[in-house]
Copies of this chain bind each other. A is one copy, B any other.
Amino acid sequence: MKTHLVTGGAGFIGSHLCDKLLADGHAVIAIDDFSLGTYENLIEAIEHEHFKFLEGDVANSSFWHQLAKDCPTNSIDVIWHMAANSDISAGVKDSTVDLHRTFLTTFHTLEAAKALGVKHFALASTSAVYGDLQSVLSEDSAPLNPISNYGAMKLASEAAATAKTSTDLDKLWIFRFPNVVGPRSTHGVIHDFVRKLNSTPRRLEVLGDGTQCKPYLHVIELLDAMMHTVRNSNEKINRFLIGPLGDKGTTVRYIADLVIRLYGTNAEIVYGNGNRGWVGDVPTFTYSTDKIYSLGWKPKLTSNQTIDKAVGEIVAELKSPVVALR
């Protein structure tokens, strides 16, 4: 049994990570400020004897000073930094959202790792660091010109973390996530569509022309990949792309059609113009997952199969019962 600290532990991916770590026999300390996370996401974890939850803002150094006082040095084995603003379009409108919630959370969590004597650090990063780069993306693709503040502050987070490997950290894992879907998500295209249908069940307005095509990965597969990587990679800096099976993404049209079908409505789909949903949206990208494959991890689902599973889950989670009765 090891002790894992998870920032953003009540959030979408963070809460699933807590459940997984507890199921694998570890102790977990989760931190969240409930800006996006919810208590409901922790309903299973909170019952566990080796789970501890702290409410706090990890971008606030005084939060960490208090924790360092209460927590013996070297008592935490790994920090998983999952806290971030996951609403990319909100961050495009107001840069300070991603400054504080995506970058400064990382900066202060890295400082905390030093204060707490934690030598292993896992960082959630993103394909958004590549911006509009038009090639099959791999770990070493360049140049990195993010076009959203979210992508920029994730790249900034990667940079702050790699610098710490020359002073404080023995091992760093950087995971560049694609679009991750599944239960407990707080944003994303499926989420948006279901919420829109809750308001207007006969009409679904889509941002852009629906040809946007991206790889989607299920959160359960993501966790499996991260666990495998932490167990099996041995560099000082371990950077991995994680993606679904195959090299095909899923179009927004595919998702819109499926959401309508599983929602049980015959809503008219109204498409917008152009292939960019919003400023900072990257319309198409393709991932190379050769590096993680060569480490012995392979996903089970293609991007379309992932969407098939996640749309069912998210419709079940979010579909308004009031609408259902109309």
Binding site for B on A (CB under 8 A): 92, 95, 99, 103, 107, 110-111, 129, 131, 139-149, 151-153, 155-156, 159-160, 162-163, 165-167, 237, 239, 279-280
Contacts and interface: CB of A to CB of B under 8 A. Distances in A.
B159 A147 contact: no
Sort A-B residue pairs by CB-CB distance and give the 6 closest, nearest first.
A156-B156, A142-B142, A152-B159, A152-B163, A155-B159, A145-B162
A90 B123 CA distance: 25
B151 A163 contact: yes
B131 A111 contact: no
A292 to B, nearest CB: 15
Contact of A92 (B148, B159, B167): B167
Given A155-B155, A156-B159, 7 more contacts: A95-B110, A95-B160, A139-B143, A143-B237, A155-B159, A156-B160, A166-B279
A162 B152 contact: yes
B143 A140 contact: yes
Contacts of A155: 155-156, 159
A156 B103 contact: yes
